[in-house]
Homo-oligomer: A and B are copies of this chain.
């Protein structure tokens, strides 16, 4: 198995942690806006193939149409948001439990879309927010970005709700509850609150590892946990498999989130990897190589 570089799971937050050591700050802001094409060069073929499928699926739904003033920024912000391992993990989890890729593609797309909305709003210039040193390349004004972010979330839910041919509606609803929770008040929003509260008035963010770990647990941990569960549900996994995937996803998120913030060799990452490998033993009769790629960052 090839060792995966961290370029695929490209960084959202690293540049906002000026309290890190120089070693941890080595990732330049230009990397944040690295195109998917550039990222894919360094990533595992399995991930690249999944990501390509997911992006193609999304592009079917967000063709640029009238009113251009609404759809053009939406298209831009979804396609140009930094990519993470979340959508690919959702598909991998589906395949792990014996499902087919197409069964998880809408949920994976919805997750990518939700992340784009979150990224857009995280970089909105608000009057009570410190101006970030580096960050998003703002093509549009704040008002357009706010509105577009607000339009992106319902679009994600719509894409998912429309994906059902009539036979799978209960699973889709279950997935919607999972996604709502992960991106909402018990997940990403709670993590963002914690992060906002940890910010200093001069724009520097918290640097206490334990506090970062708690944010990552709620943020990337919660999202990846949700992604893995959604894949498991849509792939027809058993309840036991789904609960195992919930834990594995959470560990994957912890690894990805800590590595993205510059803590690649930390005990938190090692611990999460070991725990994930232990949970993966449950799937010993299955093809686990794909899932394992998410642990080797």
Contact = CB atoms under 8 A, between A and B. Distances in A.
A275 interface: no
Contacts of A69: 193, 197
A201 interface: no
A127 interface: yes
* Interface range, A side: 35 or more
Nearest to A183: B154
Contact of A154 (B141, B148, B180): B180
Contacts of A126: 124-127, 142-143, 146
Contacts of A189: 70, 147-148, 150-151
Given A126-B142, A154-B184, 11 more contacts: A67-B190, A126-B127, A126-B143, A127-B142, A146-B146, A147-B193, A151-B184, A151-B185, A154-B185, A155-B185, A158-B181
B193 A70 contact: yes
Contacts of A181: 154, 158
A153 interface: yes
21 contacts: A70-B185, A70-B186, A70-B190, A117-B150, A121-B146, A125-B127, A128-B141, A147-B193, A149-B150, A151-B185, A151-B189, A153-B153, A153-B184, A154-B180, A154-B183, A155-B180, A158-B181, A161-B173, A161-B180, A169-B169, A172-B173
Interface centre among A155, A179, A180 (most CB of B within 10 A): A180
The A interface is mostly helix, strand or loop, or mixed, namely helix
A121 B150 contact: yes
A146 B147 CA distance: 11
The 3 closest A-B pairs by CB, nearest first: A158-B180, A154-B184, A169-B169
A207 interface: no
A225 to B, nearest CB: 16
A139 to B, nearest CB: 14
Contacts of A169: 169-170, 172-173
Complex copy number for this chain: 2
Interface in A125-148: 125-129, 141-144, 146-148
Contact of A185 (B74, B124, B190): B74
A181 B148 CA distance: 14
B70 A150 contact: no
Interface in A88-136: 117-118, 121, 124-129
B180 A170 contact: no
Contacts of A158: 176-177, 180-181, 184
A114 to B, nearest CB: 8
Interface in A150-173: 150-151, 153-155, 157-158, 161-162, 164, 166, 169-170, 172-173
A118 B186 CA distance: 20
A196 interface: yes
